[in-house]
Amino acid sequence: IALHNAKKIGDDQCSFFSHELSEIALHRQRLITELKSTDVFQHFKTVYQPQLSISDQSITGVEVLIRWIHPELGFISPEDFIPIAEDIGAMPNISRWVITNAKKELNETNLIPEKIKRVSINISARELNIEEQAQNLHQVFKENLDFAKICQIEITETTAIYDITTSQKFIESLKELGLKFSIDDFGTGFTSLSNLKNLPVDELKIDRSFIDKIETENNSQIIVKSVIDLADNFGIKSIAEGVENENQLIFLKNCGCDEAQGYYFAKPMGIEDLKKFMAA
Ligand code: C2E
Ligand code: MG
Ligand code: MG
Ligand code: MG
């Protein structure tokens, strides 16, 4: 887009745009180099966001979210660095770190398995699609079998699950370890209804963008209600992400949605704050 605009505006502007482009390329290259090094783990952190049952507002589980606090660049969003990590094949090591770090922190605070009965971990669809990476994931959970039994994988999609049979095979082998599965951001990703038919998942997670517009857009209401009914008809659970106010919660409750997560209840927090939150 920048190059296209540069052409339209004129040659004198061109150097400005190409300069901007090389800045982006340099930034990406820097992140690539750092993501390839094991030093990066020193600056990773896991935060936890509670998930609640809509009927009685009890806590059903927590979602683990990664944070990269860069010593020079500050906070780098997972939305920016996860796709890069996927491109360079760094996800297996990152997932291993997330799983073992969450297990360690939750164990140390005695929150699992009594107080927190389910831990949701985000895993890229691409990881489940590459034989070697999926096997690595299976290995990590096999080494942490007690933890695996309370874990649920949220399949996040930055690209389509292009080879459904590979994913299906690994989802089944992970389910044998006791893991549960959820489709994250359902309705915005690439999981079509025909894929859903072949995926043995336990939950659909409705994307925040629909919850956001529940109060103002009739179409979003229809989509949210349909996804809840779809999950119900499949005999699996539904959860809404990004719930920020009571009106949204009431709508979800009236539609029969099972669970909710969002700033209305709690923001993602470090382990110490989670401990306090669970005690309160
Ligand atoms: P996601 O799994 O759909 O996570 C939900 C995102 O929404 C999180 O952003 C969370 O902090 C944010 N959120 C939660 N409640 C609310 C709310 O009420 N309002 C608003 N506005 N936002 C809310 P975050 O932590 O920046 O993560 C972004 C995405 O990065 C995640 O989306 C997930 O796809 C990916 N991600 C995060 N951690 C990991 C990880 O460990 N592994 C992988 N593969 N992906 C991860
Ligand atoms: Mg998620
Ligand atoms: Mg999500
Ligand atoms: Mg989302």
Q: Rounded to two decimals, what is the model's pTM?
A: 0.93
The pLDDT of residue 1 is: 39
Q: What are the angstrom distances between the C-alpha of 162 and each of 49, 126, 129, 131, 188?
A: 30, 9, 8, 13, 16
200: tokens are 């043995």
| Closest ligand, as measured to the CA of 210 | 4
Q: Could you report how far apart the first and last alpha carbons of the chain are, in Å?
A: 50
Question: Which atom of ligand 1 is least distant from the CA of 91?
Answer: 44
Helix %, strand %, coil % of the chain (to 5) = 55, 20, 25
3-state secondary structure of 228: helix
**In sequence order, what are the beta bridge partners of 240?**
206, 260
pLDDT-based confidence at residue 198 (cuts at 50, 70, 90): confident
Q: Give the lowest-confidence range in 16-20, 122-126, 168-172, 229-233.
A: 16-20
Q: Residue 114: is it exposed, middle or buried by C-beta count within 10 angstroms (0-12/13-18/19+)? A: exposed
Q: Peptide bond before 113: cis, by omega within 30 degrees of 0? A: yes
The pLDDT of residue 8 is: 45
Identify the residue with better confidence: 242 or 188. 242
| Candidate from 77, 87, 97, 156 with most ligand 1 atoms within 8 A of CB, to mutate | 156
Question: Which atom of ligand 1 is least distant from the CA of 243?
Answer: 18
| Candidate from 122, 247, 249 with most ligand 1 atoms within 8 A of CB, to mutate | 122
Chain-wide mean pLDDT for the chain? 92
Give the helix ranges, DSSP H, for 37-120: 78-87, 91-108
pLDDT in tens, 113-154: 999 999 999 999 999 999 999 999 999 999 999 999 999 999
Question: Which atom of ligand 1 is least distant from the CA of 49?
Answer: 14
Ligand 1 atom 23, closest CA: 242
Rounded CA-CA distance 261/50 in Å is 7
pLDDT above 90 covers a percentage of the chain that reads 80
9: CA distance to ligand 4 center in Å?
36
The count of other CB atoms within 10 Å of the CB of residue 189 is: 19
74: tokens are 């500050």
Ligand 1 atom 20, closest CA: 242
pLDDT in tens, 145-190: 999 999 999 998 876 666 778 888 999 999 999 999 999 999 887 7
**Protein residues with CB under 6 Å of any ligand 1 atom:** 49, 65-66, 77-79, 82, 98, 122-124, 154, 156, 184-185, 208, 241-244, 262-263, 268
**In sequence order, what are the beta bridge partners of 181?**
153
Cα-flanking dihedrals φ and ψ of residue 63, to 5°?
-100, 135
Rounded CA-CA distance 173/169 in Å is 6
